[in-house]
């Protein structure tokens, strides 16, 4: 996969970025793959079932992003590597992934309210500055919190 690509595949047990990897395809925040990758744990709150999706504009999807900005990111502290929602198409949310060096607080992940979480050890992701908030709108269909106008 090229650095900065947003493709991510999830089969329920493994994450992959290779073209043709088996599983459900999503788009993630491309910044999560654009730097030097680190060994970490990913909390994948998504299902391989194609029907597991919700419009991003649903109140529960908006609220979980507010929770991420309000307390989830502070709770993760220094262990946070990056965080991304998973885009199915320009309208639909398919889940979210929080990547951290320590999985100890993954049981509190607010994104697991929408789709249940699975912990996976991974070296696919790189550190990305935490989203500053309060923005929870997406830019041009890029997976939140990625994207910018300028």
Residue 138 beta carbon to other proteins: minimum distance, rounded to whole angstroms: 10
The distance of Cα 84 from the centroid of its chain, to the nearest Å, equals 3
Distance CA 20, CA 9 (A): 9
38: which 2 tokens?
Answer: 């680190």
Helix, coil or strand: residue 77: helix
Site string for other proteins, 12-51 (x = CB under 8 A): ----------------------------------------
Sole binder of other proteins in the list 18, 59, 129, 140 (CB under 8 A): 129
Is residue 42 within a helix (H) or strand (E), and if so which, with residue range? strand 40-46
Answer yes or no whether residue 105 interacts with other proteins by CB under 8 A: no
Sole binder of other proteins in the list 70, 101, 105, 119 (CB under 8 A): 70
Q: Which residues contribute to the site for other proteins (CB under 8 A)?
A: 66, 69-71, 73-74, 77-78, 129-130, 132-137, 139, 148-150
């Amino acid at each position: 996969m090229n650095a900065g690509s947003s493709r991510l595949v999830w089969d329920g047990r493994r994450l992959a970025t290779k073209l043709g990897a088996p599983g459900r395809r999503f788009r993630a925040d491309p910044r999560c793959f654009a730097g030097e990758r680190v060994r970490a744990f990913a909390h994948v709150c998504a299902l391989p079932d194609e029907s597991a999706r919700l419009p991003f504009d649903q109140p529960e999807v908006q609220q979980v992003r507010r929770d991420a900005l309000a307390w989830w990111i502070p709770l993760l502290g220094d262990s946070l590597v990056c965080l991304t929602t998973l885009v199915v198409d320009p309208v639909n949310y398919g889940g979210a992934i929080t990547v951290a060096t320590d999985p100890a607080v993954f049981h509190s992940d607010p994104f697991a309210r929408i789709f249940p979480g699975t912990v996976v050890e991974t070296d696919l992701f790189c550190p990305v500055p935490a989203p500053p908030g309060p923005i929870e709108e997406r830019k041009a269909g890029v997976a939140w919190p990625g994207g910018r106008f300028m």
